[in-house]
Amino acid sequence: MQYDPNNIFAKILRGEIPCHKIYEDQHTLAFMDVMPQVEGHCLVIPKHPSRNLLDADPIALAHLMTTVQKIATAAKKALNADGIQIRQYNEEAGGQTVFHLHVHILPMKIGMPMKKHTGKMADNALLAKQAQIITALVK
């Protein structure tokens, strides 16, 4: 399968669709998931066009995972989480729904269940606040 330059994350990278940005450098962008499964659910994407892990440039993967570590560390602290779950899906059969490489960062608290992915968007003000708190802790 080919990379589709009109996927939603490519549109976010081009500034055609807004996001609640947490962090950006020349290689990656991190932002809040608008349909979070837990409080503080973040996404990290490479700026290099990649459909998923299977076709990604190894150098882009290295930059991506460096940013994932930064954001996961900040999100855990910002949300006072007990742990972090990292998820990454590849192709439809593997659970991928947006065909631009992305990594989910889920701050987890003991005893707090994860919400189902219903397609319902979260409150923008809440996402903006969470992004601001996480951003302040990114090192």
Closest CA to 41 of 71, 70, 14, 16: 71
Q: Catalytic residue among 41, 102, 104, 117, which?
A: 102
Token pair of 1, please?
A: 């399968």
Is 102 assigned a catalytic role?
yes
Strand runs labelled E in the chain? 21-24, 28-32, 42-46, 83-87, 103-108
Q: Alpha-carbon distance 57 to 41, whole Å?
A: 25
Catalytic residues: 102
